[in-house]
Amino acid sequence: MTSAAPSSDPSAFPDQLTEFTLQGPVGPLEAISDVAEHPCARRGIAVICHPNSKDGGTMRNKVVTMLERSLRECGLDTLRFNFRSAGESAGEYDNGKGESDDLAAVIAWVREVRPDDVLWLAGFSFGSYVTLRNAVKLKAEALISIAPPVGRWSLETLALPTCPWLVVMGEEDEVVEPQAVFDWIDSLEHPPELVRMPETGHFFHRRLMDLRGAVKHWMQDYLPPARE
């Protein structure tokens, strides 16, 4: 059961599924945290970012929730949050710049309450752009990008990570041009591991369980140590 939401930043990472509010740069940010099952719990937290709020994207998007489930089933505690303008989070949409500030504020809280944990970042569509834009600066130790929006936002000038990095892309994506993503990855000095998923589009209709399997399979080589 989801616990009652505190009115401001909690002083510790919740020990059960919890909805709460974090203080962002321009006001409150809605957040949901959950914890890994004890037998597989690892010393790591994954922060997950959602698609574009201008298109209705929120932390409750079904790809985001499947990504969260995959990470938690492999032993990571999870935190998703609504960028400014999404859900009840304060502020106006800012094309990635302000949303990057939102992410930085969330990560600052995570670092405060779990200073010894490994940080993973994950995002879907616009959320993968925001995490890519900030992975190096925020010192992420692993990155998962689902349908990164190559061609919709400029990725060419970003400082890209050298940490473990997974990209999952539907070969029939109707929002992001798949070949543009494949060509972009081929051009990188340190390319991610790419999973091309046939017969599925941007939202992975009827293929969400396959997405879950791809993420969990990749994670096994990079999981942090067990939580004591």
Q: What angle do CA 81, 86, 87 make, to 5 degrees?
A: 85
First to last CA, the chain: 25
Contacts of 146 (CB under 8 A, 6+ apart): 63, 67, 122, 123, 124, 125, 128, 167, 168, 211
pLDDT for the residue 7 = 47
Domains of the chain from N-terminus onward: 18-219 (3.40.50.1820)
Provide the residue-wise pLDDT of the chain in tens; the chain has 228 residues. 344 444 467 899 999 999 999 999 999 999 999 999 878 999 999 999 999 999 999 999 999 999 999 999 999 999 999 999 999 999 999 999 999 999 999 999 999 999 999 999 999 999 999 999 999 999 999 999 999 999 998 888 889 999 999 999 999 999 999 999 999 999 999 999 999 999 999 999 999 999 999 999 999 999 999 997
> What strand order describes the sheet that includes 165-170?
18-24, 27-34, 77-81, 44-49, 118-124, 142-146, 165-170, 193-197
Of 105, 129, 95, give the one whose Cα is nearest residue 21. 105
The answer to whether the Cα torsion of 29, 127, 199, 163 is positive or negative is negative
- What integer pLDDT is reported at residue 156 of this predicted model? 80
Q: Tokens 């925020």 appear where? A: 138
Other residues' Cβ atoms within 10 Å of the Cβ of residue 125: 27
